[in-house]
A and B are shown apart, each in its own frame.
Chain A
Amino acid sequence: MVRGLAILCCFQLLGELISRAAGLPIPGNVLGMGLLLAALAANLVKLDWIEQAADLLLDNLALFFVPAGVGVMVYFQLIAREWLPISVATIVSTFVVMAVTGKVSDLLEPEEGSHDK
C-alpha cells in the first residue's frame, strides 16, 4: 500500500517537474498519469505494486472533489449576477458534449466492440 502511494506520488512529482521545467500547458498530475502508463507498458513498474493504492484512491475519487465544490460558495455573487447565461450555457452545453462525443464514438466504434457490458 505504502509502496503504491510512494510510486504514485513519485510520478506526480516527476510530472510536475517536467511540466514546470518545459513550461507545458499540461498539469503535472495528468503528465504523471501518462508517464506511469508508459512505465507500466515498458514493464518498469509492475501493476501489482500500485494496484492496492490506486484502487483505494479511485474508489473514493468523488470524495476528493468535495472541497473544490465547496469553493463555489466564494463566487456566489459573481454567479448570481449573470445566473441566466451561466446556467443555460453550463447545463445545455454539458448535455450537448455528452451527446456529440457518445454518438461520434458509437458511429466509429467497430461493431464487435458492442458486446461489452
Chain B
Amino acid sequence: MTNELVQSPLFGVTLTLAVYALAQWVYYRTRNVWLNPVLLAIVAIIGILMACDISYADYSRGGDLILFLLGPSVVALAGPLYQKKDEILKRKMPILIGVFAGAVASIVSACGLALLFGGSRDVVLSLAPKSVTTPIAISIVEKIGGVAPLTAALVVMTGCLGAVCGPEFCRMIGIRPGASTGLAVGTAAHGIGTARMLEVDRLAGAVSGLAIGLNGLMTTFVLPAIFLLFGE
C-alpha cells in the first residue's frame, strides 16, 4: 500500500512543497546564503529518497508536475521585462555585448578547464552549454554530441552555484548592483540565478531573465563557431 502512495503524484508534490517550505524557513531564519532554499531542498530531497530507497522515477511523477510550472514562468518573465523596458532599452549595448562576452567566456573557460584537468570528450562537450537554460542546453548538446542528461545535471549545479554566490561575488569584485549584477548572474546561472535576482530587485531580475534568453540564443550560434576555430 505504501508503494502505491509513493508512486502517486501526491507523494512527489507533497515532498517537494514541504521540504522547500522548510528550507525557506531555515533560509529566512539564518540569512546564510549557503543555505539557499533551492540547494537545501535538492540536497534534502535526494537524501530522503536515498534513505528510504525510493527511486527518482517514483519521485518524478509528482516532481514533474512542479517542474511543469517552469514553462509558464519563463513566459511570465515578459511581465517584468515589459515594465522595465525603458531602463533596458537604455542599456541595449551593455546588455548585448555583456551577454555575448559571457557566452564566449563560458564556453572557452568550461571546455578549456575540463580539458586541462583531463576530462573526457563526453564531459568536455557536455560542459560547453552549462550556463544556458536547461531546454536550450539540451538541444545544443544533442547537436554537438555530448551527454544530454549530464548536461542537465551540470546546468542545475551551475545555476545553484550562481544563485548562492552570484550577488555576493559581484559586490566583492565591484560590479554595480542592479542591471549589471542581474545580467552577470542571469548569463552565468540562467533561471536559478534569476530567481535569486528577482528577490534582490525587480530590475536586476528582469535583466537576468532577459540574459537567459540572450545567452541561450548566442551560445546556440557561437558554440559551433568556437569548436570550428579550435578544431574541438
Contact = CB atoms under 8 A, between A and B. Distances in A.
Contacts of B179: 105, 109, 113, 116
Interface in A83-117: 84-86, 88-110, 113-114, 116-117
B83 A47 contact: yes
A61 interface: yes
Contacts of A54: 76, 78-80
A27 B156 contact: no
B67 A64 contact: yes
Given A68-B156, A96-B105, A98-B166, 7 more contacts: A9-B75, A12-B74, A36-B78, A53-B76, A72-B153, A101-B184, A105-B179
Given A94-B162, A102-B183, A110-B90, A57 B196 contact: no
Contact of B184 (A8, A12, A98): A98
B94 to A, nearest CB: 4
- Going nearest first, the 5 A-B pairs with the smallest beta carbon separation are A67-B63, A85-B119, A102-B175, A101-B102, A102-B184
Interface string B152-180: 11101111111101100110010111111
Nearest to B46: A73
Most chain B CB atoms below 10 A, which of A33, A69, A75, A117: A69
- Among A9, A32, A64, A97, the most chain B Cβ lie within 10 Å of the Cβ of A97
B75 A62 contact: no
Given A72-B157, A79-B153, A92-B113, A65 B191 contact: yes
A58 B77 CA distance: 7
Interface majority SS on A: helix, strand, loop or mixed? helix
Interface of B: 12, 16-17, 19-20, 37-39, 41-42, 45-46, 49-50, 56, 59-60, 63-64, 66-67, 69-83, 85, 87, 90-91, 93-95, 97-99, 101-102, 105-106, 109-111, 113-120, 123-124, 127, 130-131, 133-136, 139-140, 143, 147, 149-150, 152-154, 156-163, 165-166, 169-170, 173, 175-181, 183-185, 187-189, 191-192, 194-196, 198, 201, 203, 205, 209, 211-213, 216-217, 220
Interface in A17-33: 25-30, 32-33
Contacts of B180: 102, 105-106, 109
**B interface SS class:** helix
A86 B120 CA distance: 10
A54 B209 CA distance: 13
B110 A57 contact: no
Given A30-B216, A68-B67, A93-B130, A8 B76 contact: yes
Contact of A71 (B118, B123, B156): B156
Contacts of A66: 16, 19-20, 38, 41-42, 45, 63, 66
B58 to A, nearest CB: 11
Nearest to A36: B78
Given A54-B79, A97-B187, A101-B102, A70 B45 contact: yes
A37 interface: yes
B98 A105 contact: yes
Given A67-B12, A99-B173, A90 B194 contact: no
B106 A29 contact: no
Given A30-B133, A65-B156, A90-B130, A85 B118 contact: yes
